[in-house]
Structure 1
Amino acid sequence: MSDVNLSEINSLARQLVHDLVPYASARSSMSGGAIWLNANENALAPAYQLDGTFNRYPSCQPKAVINAYADYAGVAAEQVLVSRGADEGIELLIRSFCEPKQDSITLCPPTYGMYAISAESNQTAVNKVLLLNSESLDLPGIFATNPKLVFICSPNNPTGDVIAQQQIIAVLEHFNGRALVVVDEAYIEFAPEASVVPLLSRYPHLVVLRTLSKAFGLAGLRCGFTLGSVDVINALKKMIAPYPIAEPVAQIAAMALSAAGIAQMQQSVATINQLRSNFIAVAQHLPGVSRVWPSNANYVLLQVTDAAECVSALIKEDILIRNQSSQLGLSQVVRVSIGNPDEMQRLITAMQNYFLNDKRVSA
């Protein structure tokens, strides 16, 4: 047996690894519960059947998936890269365009945490320019930075706000020839009219991130897409692993992007949007809820009297929601993913009981 102990092994790790605080995903930070409304998953999950054997290596960029997504998004196949979720797209963009210890990215908190973590793991500095009122871009603040990549999440996670397209165009104009502007559209199917994909033909430095995890109900598939100019996509192809998409993933993705799969997704989105509207109407009248963000995604952000206590109270009812109070620019907020009709009714009942019995707000 080796006499090398664990502390000696740890000493071999890079200092960056010792210092890095990993992303706390909803699944890793919370467990248990019967109703999971903490990870922005689609509870209206489709079912698919696999076909074939899997003894051969898959294609790096499976044509059936690439072509289907290109048709769905309205772009050329050469403008599409498929990856292990949009998270890999974020990492590839930073690794491909940012020189470690030299370049920086700009992001706009409160927003998705993986932009910063992917940058930090690549020794890339992070400029943080807070959203104004947690809903619109601080353009002068963004323009004061000198990044290689600007990340804009729209609809934004966790607020659900759509960033005005004129603001995104202003960022594109300012950074033309100087930086890539990356618009994360993970939740765009819930507000398709807000997509910036039509701008790709005008701005070759625009990049759009997409996923099958949300509206398509395939979070477990880990399948995302990067849309951009041919030059951007070719750069990412040089950095991506040889076989990023498993054959079963490719098969299911192709089925999800068929006409029938897209129709099923759109019906799911319509149901979720209605459930979201119903929940917002209730939440706005709950004592102890001081603000409800007008969401354009499959979740709703609420400002409450005590976020940690609210989460704990719902855990006792076997319901998981997410405390987002640690996000820059936010305080005492919880994010509620929209579940199926039965889950939402149980949530509403539990929240009504909690807030009506909270002596700090019901007195």
Structure 2
Amino acid sequence: MREDLRGFAGYSSARRAAVTGSIWLNANESAWRNPADAGTGANRYPDPQPAELRARLATLYGVRAEQVLVGRGSDEAIDLLVRALCNPGRDAVVVAPPVFGMYAVSARLQGAPLVEVPLRDGAAGFELDLDGLASAAVASGAKLVFVCSPANPTGQAVPPADLLALARRLAGRAIVVVDEAYGEYSEYPSIAAEISAQPNLAVLRTLSKAHALAAARIGCLLADPALVAVLRNCQAPYPLPSPCVQMALAGLSEPALAITRAQVQTVRAERERLRAELAGCPGVRRVYPSQGNYLLVRFDDAEAAFARLLAAGVVVRDMRASPQLGDALRISIGRPEENDAVVAALQAGRAAA
């Protein structure tokens, strides 16, 4: 971590103190509930790291509770990692574009040098240059290497053995952060089980995607307990609203998880169906294989395709400002009828022609 933060204890909030009681007069809260409060106890500050939720997430991801830091989506964990580890103007962050933009945003806000090792676009799709990442991290003195797997927006995933080899190569130099936001949709297992043996490995997970809780804004970092403790000291005092925690606990119950698993299987099947059908649409140049809940598609005229979709009420992600993707759109996998609407809108271009 940053030298100036060693020994930094952070803000000692009223709920971090290890005290118990029946009359709470230590946080200047209202003793009365808001008239709109339907029983959540929102007049009281929430637990900064709810023990039940940490335990539930630890079980879900196959780690220990002390290896879990819960926060406001994966974005907060990304920001905390960069702020706590990178000295402005000195400690670099390595990324592999085109990729999720928050790594670069957090680096820029912290003044951390950003080192880019571009993905390679090959016959089988985009590929990560693992040797290039390791060499760039060593040469730049990077503290953090972010790997998105499955990658957003390009869709490829990295075998866990390759990720572990990268972390071993950078042991003592940098933390390899594997963003598994779309891990539920991948054919590869999580790398999280390796954290105990490889403490410079960390994993990002979120409830926003497969678990359908995007508005609850709950994600977590799985990491060595020492790193979790460091980041907790840098975290805002009360990151998780109580109603969101209650929703997450309900959404991680066994009945809810059974429904989630079935929906993931539906997405996987629809992803492959949509990929095949898009390949036959007029103006589609290439549909990349994907292990996420989205497809990256190149078009002869991406602007016209975007306009046709929008005219049909279908909103997709325009990727043309991203490096190497000047002709591409990213299409999330929706319900079957929504995916049908995508194909129909693009097929309409043939009729118009």
* TM-score normalized with structure 1 length: 0.82
Aligned equivalent of 2:168: 173
Alignment check: 8 A CA contact 1:184 1:210 kept: yes
Instruction: State the one-letter code of the partner of 2:98.
Output: P
2:71 to 54, 59, 83: 83
Work out the CA distance in 1 between the residues paired with 2:189 and 2:325: 24
Work out the CA distance in 1 between the residues paired with 2:314 and 2:285: 21
1:214 pairs with 2:219: no
2:129 to 125, 138, 154: 138
Aligned equivalent of 2:343: 348
Q: What are the superposed Cα offsets for residues 318-349 of structure 1, whole Å, 9 maximum, x if unpaired?
A: 11111112211223011001111221122211
Alignment check: 8 A CA contact 2:281 2:343 kept: no
- Structure 1 residues 348 and 199 mapped into 2: Cα distance closer, same or farther (>3 Å)? same
2:316 to 298, 313, 321: 321
Instruction: State the one-letter code of the partner of 2:318.
Output: N
Aligned equivalent of 2:34: none
Work out the CA distance in 2 between the residues paired with 1:246 and 1:59: 9
Does the residue aligned with 1:52 lie in a helix, a strand or coil? coil
1:290 to 271, 278, 285: 285
Does the residue aligned with 1:195 lie in a helix, a strand or coil? coil
Alignment check: 8 A CA contact 1:132 1:138 kept: yes
Work out the CA distance in 2 between the residues paired with 1:152 and 1:181: 7
Work out the CA distance in 1 between the residues paired with 2:187 and 2:230: 28
Work out the CA distance in 1 between the residues paired with 2:223 and 2:76: 15
Work out the CA distance in 1 between the residues paired with 2:39 and 2:255: 18
More displaced 10-residue stretch of structure 1: 69-78 or 128-137? 128-137
2:87 to 96, 99, 107: 99
Aligned equivalent of 1:118: 106
Q: What are the superposed Cα offsets for residues 263-310 of structure 1, whole Å, 9 maximum, x if unpaired?
A: 111111011111111101101222321211111111111011111221
Alignment check: 8 A CA contact 1:162 1:296 kept: yes
1:67 pairs with 2:71: no
Compute the RMSD of aligned alpha carbons. 1.4
Work out the CA distance in 2 between the residues paired with 1:276 and 1:81: 31
The size of the alignment, in residue pairs, is: 309
Deviation, 1:201, is: 2.4
The gaps in structure 1 that reach 5 residues or longer are 1-49
Deviation, 1:107, is: 0.3
Alignment check: 8 A CA contact 1:137 1:167 kept: no
| Greater RCO, CA 8 A, separation 6+ | 1
Alignment check: 8 A CA contact 1:159 1:301 kept: yes
Work out the CA distance in 1 between the residues paired with 2:338 and 2:144: 39
Instruction: State the one-letter code of the partner of 1:159.
Output: T
Q: What are the superposed Cα offsets for residues 69-110 of structure 1, whole Å, 9 maximum, x if unpaired?
A: 001111100000110000001000101111112111000011
Deviation, 1:51, is: 4.9
More displaced 10-residue stretch of structure 1: 119-128 or 269-278? 269-278
Q: What are the superposed Cα offsets for residues 110-166 of structure 1, whole Å, 9 maximum, x if unpaired?
A: 100000001100111100000121622213322332310000000000011112333
Work out the CA distance in 2 between the residues paired with 1:97 and 1:284: 44
Alignment check: 8 A CA contact 2:187 2:291 kept: no
Work out the CA distance in 2 between the residues paired with 1:268 and 1:51: 31
Deviation, 1:358, is: 6.6
1:158 pairs with 2:153: yes
1:307 pairs with 2:302: yes
Aligned equivalent of 2:96: 108
Work out the CA distance in 2 between the residues paired with 1:192 and 1:83: 26
Alignment check: 8 A CA contact 1:82 1:224 kept: yes
Once the two structures are aligned, what percentage of the paired residues are identical? 38
Work out the CA distance in 2 between the residues paired with 1:59 and 1:205: 28
More displaced 10-residue stretch of structure 1: 219-228 or 319-328? 319-328
